[in-house]
């Protein structure tokens, strides 16, 4: 058994407690062979390590929030610009004037008369993190400028199933983390669709169901990184 914990957070807490104990706390220092300078050095070092660790946690949280804000801003920009380009395309086609694309400085579609919708996302996978959030990933072959819309559906413990609701855009890595999963649910489901800059949209994917508690597939807890079995034809963590 180690004499001191190895994980940083536990070691810092362990050290702060010992440093305070060795310095005497609110009483007299114990006679353990340490002089005053060593006691003060232990207090100072443990305090600095604690402050630095807390600063690191704050910076990590701020970076995560900044990344999420950036992703949302870029997703909104893609949506706005994509809708504008779709309007420009429609105007150019309706007026039969290729010069519209030249004026807008937007390349004309490869085939301005034939357009196909993007494929439907597949292979949805979900994992429940230790903080209760759900990370969703999926696969789809789409070009640049595509938006990935995510909808959520919830089933209450009593069996009532609410309508699908839009909860955000997945990133270019084709992943989305739901950090606002409601409490007291039997299950939560997610589906994804692709929308191109031309305005065309795919069909919604098959819903990826994430059960909570003891379900037919076995107990599903909130252990970090646990892959959640979901309902689907392949009967594995895919839909």
Per-residue model confidence as pLDDT tens digits over 149-166: 999 999 999 889 999 999
The tokens of 13 are what? 């807490």
Claim: this prediction has a pTM higher than 0.75: no
Q: Which conformational region is residue 213 in: left (phi greater than 0), alpha (psi within -120 to 50 degrees), or beta?
A: left
Residue 110: pLDDT band by 50, 70, 90 thresholds?
A: confident
The predicted-structure confidence for 25-41, as pLDDT tens digits, reads as follows 878 889 989 999 999 99
Residue 43: pLDDT band by 50, 70, 90 thresholds?
A: very high
Q: What does the DSSP 8-state code read for residue 201? A: B
Flag whether pLDDT at 113 surpasses 60: no
Phi, psi of 98 (to 5 degrees): -60, -20
For the chain, the average pLDDT equals 83
Q: State the CB neighbour count (10 A cutoff) for residue 185.
A: 16
d(CA 172, CA 190): 18
Q: State the CB neighbour count (10 A cutoff) for residue 14.
A: 15
- What integer pLDDT is reported at residue 135 of this predicted model? 94
CATH 2.60.40.10 for domain 122-227? yes
Write down the H helix ranges in the chain.
8-23, 36-95, 99-104
Flag whether pLDDT at 179 surpasses 60: yes
């Amino acid at each position: 058994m180690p004499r001191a914990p190895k994980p940083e957070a536990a070691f810092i807490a362990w050290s702060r407690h010992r440093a305070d104990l060795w310095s005497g706390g609110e009483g007299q220092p114990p006679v353990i062979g340490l002089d005053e300078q060593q006691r003060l050095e232990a207090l100072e070092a443990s305090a600095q390590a604690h402050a630095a660790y807390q600063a690191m946690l704050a910076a990590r949280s701020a970076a995560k929030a900044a990344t999420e804000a950036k992703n949302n801003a870029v997703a909104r920009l893609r949506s706005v610009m994509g809708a504008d380009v779709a309007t420009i395309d429609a105007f150019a086609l309706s007026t039969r004037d290729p010069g519209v694309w030249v004026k807008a400085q937007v390349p004309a579609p490869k085939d301005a008369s034939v357009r196909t919708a993007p494929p439907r996302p597949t292979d949805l996978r979900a994992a429940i993190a230790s903080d209760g959030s759900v990370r969703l990933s999926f696969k789809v072959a789409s070009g640049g400028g595509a938006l990935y819309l995510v909808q959520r559906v919830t089933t209450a413990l009593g069996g009532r199933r609410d309508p699908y609701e839009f909860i955000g855009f997945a990133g270019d890595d084709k992943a989305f983390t739901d950090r606002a999963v409601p409490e007291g649910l039997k299950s939560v489901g997610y589906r994804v669709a692709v929308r191109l800059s031309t305005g065309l949209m795919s069909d919604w994917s098959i819903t990826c169901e994430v059960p909570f508690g003891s379900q037919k597939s076995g107990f599903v807890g909130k252990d970090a990184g646990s892959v959640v079995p979901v309902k689907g034809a392949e009967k594995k963590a895919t839909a």
